Amino acid sequence: MKIKDFLCQEAVVLGIKAKDKEAAICEMVDVLKRLKKIKDAPPVVELLMQREKLGSTGIGQGVAIPHAKIDFIEKQIGVLGISQGGVDFESLDGAPAHLIFLLVCPAAAASGEHLLAMASVSRVFKDKPFRQSLLKATTAQEVIGLIEKLDA
């Protein structure tokens, strides 16, 4: 599965302003609402925060992958947020998250689809030069180009 299958250029947010995970999730869910992928943001935020209570999705090395399955969406979608200042995501290594990939998928979808998407995101974010390139990107178009190049 390719990241471009569930991430569009309009869902790349350069300059996340939030400093904590709930504010970052709210900021990114607002993108889903603006793109008309969801009708109402609070229930989506609530589901993502419920998932966070099970254990932080801050996987370390400046990366967080908040995710949830949601009843009221039709298609898997991601939002990539980039924060120069970092977001306290209670990451496993204690470091702030600078790259936050929010992923939601339909609850009715096969769990294999969700797992493949998570694996794709995890795989590309393991690459340190790639992470550094994303942090230096100045446009959403540049970010998508970097992802497509590594995800080929």
Catalytic residue numbers read 67
Which amino acid, residue 113? E
What burial letters (b/e) apply to 82-100, b meaning 16+ CB within 10 Å? bbeeebbbbbeeeebbbbb
The DSSP output letter for 75 is S
Token pair 């996340």: residue = 16
CA atoms of 132 and 99, how far apart (whole Å)? 10
CA distance to 9, 17, 101, 152, per residue, from 48 (Å): 22, 19, 12, 29
Alpha helices by DSSP H, 76-151: 111-125, 128-136, 140-150
**Torsions phi, psi for 125 (to 5 deg):** -80, -5
